[in-house]
A = this chain, B = another copy of it.
Amino acid sequence: MARGLVEGILARDRGLLARAISLVEAEGADGDELYRQVCSLRRDSPIVAFTGPPGVGKSTLVGAYIGYLRREGKTVAVAAVDPSSPLSGGAILGDRLRMVEHDGDEGVFIRSLASRGQAGGLSAALYRVADVLSAAAYDVVIVETVGSGQVDVAVADVADVKVVVGAPGLGDHVQAIKAGILEIADILVLNKADTPHAEQAFGQLEAMLKLRAKSARDVPVVATIATLKSGIPELAAAIGARLTVDKLTDRPARDRDRARKLLAQAAARAVMDHIAQERSAHLARICDEVATGRASFTAATAEVIGMIAKTVITAQGRT
């Protein structure tokens, strides 16, 4: 199974790529083995993230950027993250439709990631999918997400260039950008630049850039009208300029750091699952003591960690 899929990835066979992604997204034993093989491959496609609040025209912008890259003869893969509740799993699919014009194009591969159901969480799934697309050696890998805390952090880790998209006249959207995603921007796009108050919004974005913790230097603000494909060459140039700033050189170090992060997440998740399922009288007593103020939270946490460590050692000793 895995051998055929690895060859499929390298050949950019769309059907096999889709199967490979589903497999690493789900993270079963087969996905685990396939992802190991993917990690042994060269993975050096530049990864460009587009993020921003809903309604700013992100998908249209990505579609226009794809068109630009295609006219340059470049192949493109897109991993689009659908926002969904941790409770409902409901996904917004409408936006995807705006990229459909590239659907028959063999040089473009578009994949939506559900944002739940992955054993390792969304960020881990995003890493794995980006690795598969990078191993497939697309000229550009695009990650598109709706700005929201957890995903943004993952995007910041996975992407070589982070494009944050806003639009004018949307008080709440500016607020949404202010609240966080501006911090990760390498490039800021003001889309819908032909709507009222665009100039004002442009000034607002530049002012907001100056407020952010990370230095605003070298963060260009690009005005676009994605529906008219206006401003796209400027955007592509800004992205290209970022990619030359030796972003792509130290991939091995990046991959090791990421492995450490993912291992930490996986170990933490194993501990959480263990505690959620553990039905021992010992744990029940600790919980009751915390709930009624007979034990401090810190002391109880240490006791729980010790309890799990003993369980792990015992279990590993048995195997």
Binding site for B on A (CB under 8 A): 27, 29, 32-33, 35-41, 53-55, 83-90, 92, 148-150, 152-153, 156, 171-173, 175-176, 178-184, 211-213, 252, 255-272, 275-276, 283-284, 286-288, 290-298, 300-302, 304-306, 308-310, 312-313, 316
Task: From the candidates B32, B89, B262, name the one contacting A296 in the complex (CB within 8 A).
Answer: B32
- Secondary structure class of chain A's binding surface, majority of residues: helix
Give chain B nearest CB distance to A303 CB in angstroms: 9
Check if B272 sits within 8 Å of A305, measured CB to CB: no
Partner of A267, one of B53, B261, B275: B275
A178 to B32, Cβ gap below 8 A? no
CA distance A44 to B165 in the complex (A): 45
Give Cα distance in the complex from A53 to B147, angstroms.
Answer: 13
Interchain CB contact under 8 A, B298 and A182: no
**Whole-angstrom distance from the CB of A275 to the nearest CB of chain B?**
4
Q: Which residues of B contact A298 (CB under 8 A)?
A: 29, 32
CB distance B313 to A83 under 8 Å?
A: no
Q: Is the CB of A150 within 8 A of B153?
A: no
Closest 4 CB pairs of A and B: A85-B180, A40-B293, A39-B293, A268-B268
Given A36-B293, A260-B287, CB of A309 within 8 Å of CB of B313: yes
Whether A35 pairs with B297 at a CB distance below 8 angstroms is: yes
A179 lies within 8 A of B263 (CB):
no
A296 proximity list for chain B (CB < 8 A): 32-33, 35-36
CA distance A153 to B276 in the complex (A): 16
Q: Which of B172, B173, B184, B270 contacts A301 (CB 8 A)?
A: B270
Smallest distance from the beta carbon of A207 to chain B beta carbons, Å? Answer: 14
A107 to B197, CA, bound (A): 43
A152 and B148 CA atoms in complex are apart in Å by 13
Contact B260 A85 (CB under 8 A): no
CA distance A41 to B309 in the complex (A): 32
In the bound complex, CA of A252 to CA of B290 (Å): 11
Q: Are B300 and A263 closer than 8 Å at their CB atoms?
A: yes
Find the residue from A54, A156, A173 having the highest chain B CB count within 10 A: A54
Residue with the greatest number of chain B CB neighbours at <10 A, chosen from A258, A287, A297: A297
